[in-house]
Amino acid sequence: MDGDPALPAESARRLYRTMLTARLLDTEAVALQRQGVFPAYVSLRGQEAAQVGSAAAMDARRDFAFPTYREMAVALALGVDMAGYMASHRALWHGGLYDPMAARFAPVNAVVGGPVPHAVGWALGEKLAGRSGCAVSYFGDGASSEGDVHEAMNLAGVMGAPVVFVCQNNQWALSVPNERQIAGGSVAARAAGYGMPGVAVDGDDVAAVYTAVREALERARSGDGPSLVEALTYRAAPHSTSDDTSRYRDPDEERAWAERDPLPRARAALEAAGHADAAFFEQAEAECRAEAERIRDTVSAAPEPPGSDLFAHVYREPTEELARQRRVWQEEVA
């Protein structure tokens, strides 16, 4: 579905630029981890189309995204303060230093499958309140095997919750391949058991993802309940900066998927449709790189939070034990 007519020229150019910024920022983030600025980082390389295309289909005035720890490009596409987002990877603040309500992007969730029940709960709240917002829930192929995901999808199907489940099937649940953890070989096929439509889409085609998620959102908004979109893509990088893909992946597989890289495909679609020329791509490269470097420098220079924050947001009414721990901490840092 390269060059899908659902994407007007300006939209296609905008999505390409967002994908390119995400790719460049991702590269900077990996470098920051190698330099010791980030204690750890999870790369999204190869999944830019799945993330940007799905986020572009949302209505940022009323919908809400529920991410895992890998949806940096979704945050970027929704206009999240990216230095605030990256603060979570630098371990400055759990969930990030940005306003989730303003961004319509929930705090980063590192629990495998964790964002899915949250999305369903929020969507049910919208339905009960008579509002028209929809939740977009992100999870991976590995998370699809978690009980939380099954229970949340079943509840959404029973209650007709306005939620779109977006599974980024990047072929590997850390070091476990699809065939060893997805019975039947398809996440989308499970949707029928939850009473909702499921569709598998080329996750490396930004227009195809956009179209599939937009249709699912329209269905949810019209009162027809949830949908499942399985974006078939590939995790081009290791699972995290502490992972070593050479221990479990075939280099031939990696080379084959590299030919499907979403960035060159999006560029080829723009060129084939006559929507962009060499000057556009040169300018996009310069401006997107400058933005990635600006975010890198901003998060690197951000001050660390005061140590007292360890105790400030634990209980509404601090316990005697917490007060004791704070006194001990103060004595040690004095």
Q: Provide the annotated active-site residues.
A: 235, 239, 248
Q: CA 295, CA 98: separation in Å to the nearest integer?
A: 14
| Contact between 108 and 80 (Cβ < 8 Å) | no
Contacts of 241 (CB under 8 A, 6+ apart): 30, 33, 34, 38, 40, 41, 42, 43
User: Buried b / exposed e across 38-49, counting CB within 10 Å, b at 16+?
Assistant: beebbbbbbbbb
Q: Is 183 left (phi over 0), alpha (psi -120 to 50) or beta?
A: beta
Q: Is 120 helix (H, G, I), strand (E, B) or coil?
A: helix
Cα torsion 55, 61, 62, 64: sign = positive
> Interior CA angle at 329 toward 326 and 333, to 5°?
140
**CA-to-CA dists, residue 330 to 171, 224, 304, 312, angstroms:** 48, 56, 17, 13
Where do the H-state alpha helices sit in the chain? 9-34, 48-56, 72-77, 82-86, 100-103, 115-128, 147-159, 206-221, 251-258, 262-272, 278-301, 309-312, 320-333
